[in-house]
Every structure is written in C-alpha cells, then in structure tokens.
C-alpha cells in the first residue's frame, strides 16, 4: 500500500467552498485542519481508499468536513427541528452535535471501505 502524502489532504478549502459556501477567515483556518483530519480518517477507516477516484476522495472529504462545520450553525447542522408556540416547545436534533468527523455507510462504500468480511495481513506481507 502506498502511504498518503501527509502534506496533501484529499480536498482544499476552495473545494469545500465550491460545494458549500464561502468561509470566513477563522472558518478557513478550521476547514484546513478538518480537511487534513478527514483525509486521515478516510485512510484509517477505508482499507481500499486508494482505489477510489480523486473526485470521490475530494467529494467525501468535503462532505465529512461540511457536516462537522455545520454543527456550529444552529439550523444547518440540525437533522430535525420542532417549534411549538404554546406552551413554548423547541427541540433540535443534530447528526453530529459535537462536530465529530465521521463517514456514512454510503461514503465508506464509495471509498472501498469495510462493507463486509475482509482479510488483512498482520505480518505486513502482501
């Protein structure tokens, strides 16, 4: 297996902005770190990530980071909202309330991730 270049995440902040929205200077800095973290998550979680196309790696990396950053936005990060006028009920549910990075089953499948039984060598032999 070829080791990924740690200096090159699978997506750039520009890729994220083109798929989501413009980012502030502070968000830009956070996005750079999260893009790097998301790329590492993909490498660590999906043993066949190298078989995925660069476009798929870029798309999934941006999706992972968007979910994490959306947790900061009260309405965008919510998966369900409930407001009641009387007697004043408000409820929100978030897919990632802490802004954690995670891959969905569909993303893992697109990246050649673990979708069933697999074999790995513990001896480092190929």
- Give the pairing of strands 78-84 and 89-94: antiparallel
Q: Collapsing DSSP states into helix, strand and coil, what is residue 104?
A: coil
Closest CA to 74 of 48, 93, 51: 93
Q: Model-level pTM?
A: 0.69
| Segment 97-113 mean pLDDT | 85
Query: What is the average per-residue pLDDT within 42-51?
Result: 91
* pLDDT for res 118: 59
What is residue 8's predicted lDDT score, i.e. its pLDDT?
74
- The answer, yes or no, to whether residue 18 has pLDDT greater than 90, is yes
Q: Are 41 and 33 in contact (CB under 8 A)?
A: no
* Per-residue pLDDT tens over the stretch 49-96: 999 999 999 999 999 999 999 876 654 445 555 666 677 666 665 455
């Amino acid at each position: 297996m070829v080791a990924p270049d740690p200096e090159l995440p699978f997506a750039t902040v520009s890729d994220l902005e083109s798929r989501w929205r413009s980012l502030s200077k502070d968000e830009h800095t956070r996005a750079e770190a999260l893009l790097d973290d998301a790329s590492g998550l993909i490498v660590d979680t999906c043993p066949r990530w190298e078989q995925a196309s660069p476009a798929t790696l870029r798309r999934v990396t941006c999706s992972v980071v968007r979910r994490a950053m959306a947790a900061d936005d009260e309405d965008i990060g919510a998966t369900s909202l409930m407001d009641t006028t009387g007697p004043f009920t408000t409820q929100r549910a978030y897919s990632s309330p802490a802004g954690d990075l995670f891959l969905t089953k569909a993303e893992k499948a697109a990246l050649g991730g673990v979708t069933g039984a697999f074999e790995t060598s513990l001896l480092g032999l190929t």
